[in-house]
Amino acid sequence: MRTSKDEGVLLYAFTCGYITLPMSFFLDGEPGKAKVPACVFLIDHPEGLVLFDTGFSDRFIGMEKGLGKIIDMPEG
């Protein structure tokens, strides 16, 4: 992390897991599936830290199989 106050802003990206969605979720009518990372970002500003996570949008509500069945969590 930060070693001095004059380094500017640092940005760190963390992958917290993956979500597997139908490819048609991104491209209408496209067959297959896509594995997409679920990320959070840590902003290291000289005046403090900010953790940025947008979460999942309302678009996932009511999906046919339910969100819990399409998330791939890393082992360990």
| 64: pLDDT strictly greater than 80 | no
User: How far apart are the C-alpha atoms of 31 and 70, rounded to whole Å?
Assistant: 16
Closest C-alpha among 44, 28, 26, 27 to residue 36: 26
Q: What is the pLDDT of residues 4-57, one digit of tens each?
A: 666 789 999 998 888 888 888 788 888 988 888 888 999 998 888 999 987 776
What pLDDT does residue 50 have? 94
Q: Output the pTM of the full model.
A: 0.59
Q: Is the pLDDT of residue 76 over 70?
A: no
φ, ψ of residue 28 in degrees (nearest 5): -55, 125
pLDDT value of position 8: 87
Q: What is the pLDDT of residue 2?
A: 63
